[in-house]
Amino acid sequence: MKRKSYRLRKLSKVIQRELSWIFQKNIMDPRVRRVVILYVDLNKDLSFAKVFISMFFNFLTEIDNSASIEEMIRILNEHQMLKMIRYHLAQRVMVRSIPKLSFCSPIKEDINQHRLYRKNHHR
């Protein structure tokens, strides 16, 4: 796999940092207040960003949080929420165009990749 360019990696980190700030200061929806931005994967032309998230939760009170992570991802990927997040991101990041965002969980991505690998290599 080819290593990403310096510019791409740097912009990914900037977007990650700014999204974290936006979730702390601008998003008041209690359903998504506990989001943690793990990393941002930008495509080469900077038009699309896959944002990998997790949830900050209390180990003593919450045992199974997989359902709430899925709910949070569903809420974040709604059109109005994406529009608001992109607006706040455009206010904080100076780039020609703000990438389209898609929120997902890295655990779910790993499971899907593993299933695809098993399907292709164990025939």
Domains along the sequence of the chain with CATH: 6-121 (3.30.300.20)
Q: How confident is the model at residue 29 (pLDDT cuts 50, 70, 90)?
A: confident
CA dihedral 74, 75, 80, 86 (to 10 degrees): -90
Nearest Cα to 11, choosing from 78, 84, 71, 96?
96
Q: Where are the alpha helices (DSSP H) in 93-121?
A: 106-121
pLDDT for 39: 92
**Stretch 37-61: mean pLDDT, rounded?**
84
pTM of this prediction?
A: 0.79
Average pLDDT, the chain: 83
